[in-house]
Amino acid sequence: MCRAICEAAGLNEADGPLNVWDYEVLAEATLDEATLGYFAGGAADEHTLRDNRAAFDRWRLVPRVLVDVSSVQTETTVLGKEVAMPILVSPVAYQRMAHPEGELAVARASASAETIMCLSTFATASPAQVAEAAPEGRRWFQLYWHPDRGVTKGIIDQARDAGFEAVVLTLDLPVLGRRERDLRAGFTLKPEYRLELYASRPGNPSAVTPASAAQLVDPRLTWRDLDWLREAAGIPVIVKGILSPEDAALACNHGCAAVVVSNHGGRQLDRAIASLDALPGVVEAVDGRAEVLMDGGIRRGSEVAIALALGARAVLIGRPVIWALAARGADGVQHVLELLRDELALALALLGCPDPASVDRSRVTRP
Question: What is the Cα–Cα distance from 184 to 225, expressed in whole angstroms?
Answer: 36
According to DSSP, the β-strands at 81-83 and 76-78 are antiparallel
- Residue 219's pLDDT band, with cuts at 50, 70 and 90, is very high
pLDDT of residue 202: 56
- Residue 191's pLDDT band, with cuts at 50, 70 and 90, is confident
Side-chain half-sphere exposure of 251, counting CA atoms within 13 A: 33
Question: What is the Cα–Cα distance from 103 to 96, expressed in whole angstroms?
Answer: 7
- Residue 193's pLDDT band, with cuts at 50, 70 and 90, is confident
Question: Tens digit of pLDDT for each residue in 4-54?
Answer: 445 554 555 556 899 999 999 999 999 999 999 999 999 999 999 999 999
Question: Tens digit of pLDDT for each residue in 303-336?
Answer: 999 999 999 999 999 999 999 999 999 999 999 9
What CATH number has the domain spanning 2-61+75-352? 3.20.20.70
Q: Are 88 and 358 in contact (CB under 8 A)?
A: no
- Active-site residue among 99, 146, 254, 264? 264
Dihedral-angle region of residue 358 (phi above 0 means left; psi in -120 to 50 means alpha; beta otherwise): alpha
Question: Tens digit of pLDDT for each residue in 199-213?
Answer: 766 555 445 666 777
- Beta-ladder partners of 364: 61
Q: Burial of 226 by CB count in 10 Å (0-12 exposed, 13-18 middle, 19+ buried)?
A: buried
The domain limits of the chain are 2-61+75-352
pLDDT of residue 214: 76
What's the full length of the chain, in residues?
Answer: 367
| Percent of the chain residues past pLDDT 90, beyond the cut | 87
**What is the residue-wise DSSP string for 333-361?**
HHHHHHHHHHHHHHHHHHHT-SSGGG--G
* CB atoms inside a 10 Å sphere around CB 234: 11
Tell whether the torsion through CA atoms of 119, 187, 326 and 300 is positive or negative: negative
Q: 235 — phi, psi (to 5°)?
A: -135, 165
254 is catalytic: no
